[in-house]
Amino acid sequence: MKLNGLGVSPGIGVGRALVYRQHAFDVRFRVQPAGVDGELRRLEQACERARRQLNDIKDRVARAAGAEHASLFEAQVLMLDDPMLTGRAASLIRDEGVNAEWAVRRAGEELSRLFDEAEDHYLRERKLDVADVTGRLRLNLRPQSGGPVEIFRTVEGPLILVADELAPSLAAQVDWRQVVGFVTDVGSWTYHTAILARSLHVPAVVGLHDASARLAAGTMLAVDGTTGEVLLDPSAEELAQLDARRTRRTAYERSLDEYRQLPAVTQDGVRIVLEANLELPEEAETARQYGAEGVGLYRSEFLLESRGDGTLAAADEEVQYSAYRRIVEAMAPGTVTVRTFDVQERELYPNGLIGDGSHGVLGLRGIRVSLAHRDLFRVQLRALLRAARHGSLRIMFPFVTGVDEIRAARGILAEAAAELRARGEAPPAVPVGIMIEVPSAALTVDLLASESDFFSVGTNDLIQCCLAVDRADDRVSRLYEPRHPAVLRILRYVSRAAKRARRPLALCGEMAADPGTLALLIGLGVTEFSMAPTAVPLAKQLVRAIRLDEARRAASRALRAATVEEVSQALEELRVSRT
């Protein structure tokens, strides 16, 4: 059997399915015989915790409303010893080798079906108690720290992680030596976790709709992150074909090795700056190996730590300072541009102002979160200023929509500097810039230039906002088109406005990772780019094969195009002219 999705990170991964449904905190995996006793202990500990919790609730209700109202919780306590619930869950762990969370869920569903079939109305109503008790048990089975990653580490690999959605903060904590690929129900090429996967060379397929509900834990899966294919229980012949694909892919990547340390200079002598987008401090050395001149975008939100409840907590000042310093020193003498936290508030605070997070990408995120939570923001800025003493560092604010936000952010930066001076530390002057990723910023570059030392175009969000397309929604993600005429025109406007304002302009979205589009961007006047480290050699190959005057002519034709197809034709003519 084969599933087809969108391949977003090339490579082949083969392993057994570990199913994780983030929104329901549903983790399913097969337990090896040696791990059965450990799962039984986890179930017993969860039961004991639930018993203490229910007895406390029962006592509080009895004192407040009388003993008759506390009887409900007495019944729930008794369920914890019911052989049809916890006894059945223990049997599933022993007999079928499933993890405790999965066993509790299945036992609860089986018992609920029995209550559904009962003729007695009272018994049918007990189904709610079953749901309450199983929900409490599953909650108590959650790791007290470290989130689901702690559970993943107990499972023998190699594994393919199957998820409804995989948050970047969780992906950053996974041991990718054990988890050799992942598939998700949602996502796109510019999905942040897909970007991280490409940086880490982890095969990934997204947009599979309901794979996390359909695929059984323990199923052998083969993931091809190039074609988007996911094979279930692949045959020996299919595995051989995948191995041949892997060999060809490796040979292709090696063919680009010669470009790693060559300068990115066009055939007519124009120098192009190619830097790296990083998610993890450890990637700095990889970026240098692939030939990146610096870091054009360090996504600092990957320093956030996952709580057990799925939300995030900011690392303290020392942890952040250490991470920023490591990157700056590793990339010296190159420059490192650190983007301040770009998250939605619900990811930091479970009771945030946007409630259940249904407001999505246009809610309280990026610089808005930092301005709303100034203590957290000052901690990050202090860590950044301290790290700037060890090399060339720039600070970049995300999702800026107007001048007021930059002024407010600069004001907090000044406060952070003053706090360091009060501690006897001398913070250096640090260039401060912004990301252009919403139309309001793109159309007011001349105004923003008075408050910004540099600009960086975040094409992932700019395209999304410009075209009103949620790139993670597979119902419309096909409309997310970097070569849309509107996108090209807004990029030309930003490039010209930045040049008039004499402000450096870079582009750090995934748009630059496509060779054909990179040539178009150079023709539009952009000469600084930041991309996944692994994309740098291919970009150098492209740069060294074109002439600036040819790229400009192709860009001019593309700007007159009315459709995406016509834009692509203009770029095809550029390719043909080079052959």
User: Over 90: is that where the pLDDT of 139 sits?
Assistant: no
The mean pLDDT of the chain is 87
Active site residue 192: yes
For 528, other C-beta atoms within 10 Å of its C-beta total 21
Q: Which CATH class is domain 256-271+452-579?
A: alpha beta
Say if residues 377 and 412 touch (Cβ distance below 8 Å): yes
pLDDT above 60 (res 150): yes
pLDDT at 120: 60
**Percent share of the chain, pLDDT over 90:** 59
Q: Over the stretch 395-433, which tens digit does the pLDDT of each residue have?
A: 999 999 999 999 999 999 999 999 999 999 999 999 999
Under the banding of pLDDT at 50, 70 and 90, the label for residue 353 is very low
Q: What is the pLDDT of residues 435-478, one digit of tens each?
A: 999 999 999 999 999 999 999 999 989 999 999 988 767 677 77
Higher pLDDT, 70 or 208: 208
Query: In this predicted structure, what is the pLDDT of residue 355?
Result: 36
What is residue 186's predicted lDDT score, i.e. its pLDDT?
86
CB 184, CB 223: distance < 8 Å: no
Q: Average the pLDDT over 123-147 and give the result.
A: 74
Burial class (CB in 10 A: 0-12, 13-18, 19+), 222: buried
Name the catalytic one among 192, 373, 466, 484: 192
Let me know how long the chain is: 579
**What pLDDT score was predicted for residue 112?**
85
How sure is the predictor about 489, in pLDDT bands with cuts at 50, 70 and 90?
very high
CATH class of the region 34-141: mainly alpha
**Candidate from 107-111, 264-268, 330-334, 486-490 with smallest mean pLDDT:** 107-111
Read off the pLDDT band of 346 (50, 70, 90). low
Top-level class of domain 2-25+147-253: alpha beta
- The pLDDT value recorded for residue 364 is 80
Q: How far apart are CA 371 and CA 363, in angstroms?
A: 14
Domains 256-271+452-579 and 273-430 agree in fold: yes
d(CA 225, CA 236): 19
pLDDT higher at 372 or 344 = 372
Cα–Cα–Cα angle for 257, 259, 261, nearest 5°? 100
67-79 and 127-141 helices cross at what angle (nearest 10)?
60
* Phi, psi angle pair for 123, to nearest 5°: -65, -40
Domain ranges of the chain: 2-25+147-253, 34-141, 256-271+452-579, 273-430
Q: How far apart are the first and last CA of the chain?
A: 41
**Mapping DSSP to helix (H, G, I), strand (E, B) and coil, where does residue 214 land?**
helix
Arithmetic mean of pLDDT, 109-128: 71
In one-letter notation, the amino acid at residue 432 is V
The CA R_g of the chain, rounded to the nearest whole Å, is: 27
pLDDT tens digits, one per residue of 167-216:
776 787 788 889 999 999 988 887 778 888 888 889 999 989 889 989 99
**508 a catalytic residue:** yes
47, 465, 466, 508: which is the annotated catalytic residue?
508
Supply the pTM of this predicted model: 0.74
Note the CATH number of domain 273-430. 3.20.20.60
Residue 306 has pLDDT above 60, yes or no: no
Q: Given this model, what pLDDT does residue 252 score?
A: 86
Whether the predicted pLDDT of 86 surpasses 90: yes
Mean of pLDDT values over 117-136: 71
Give the pLDDT score at 579: 45
State residue 357's pLDDT score. Answer: 39
* CA 357 from centre of chain: 16
Average pLDDT over residues 332-336: 96
Q: Of 469 and 272, which is predicted with more confidence?
A: 272
What is the mean predicted confidence (pLDDT) over 74-90? 89
Position 47 confidence tier, pLDDT thresholds 50, 70, 90: very high
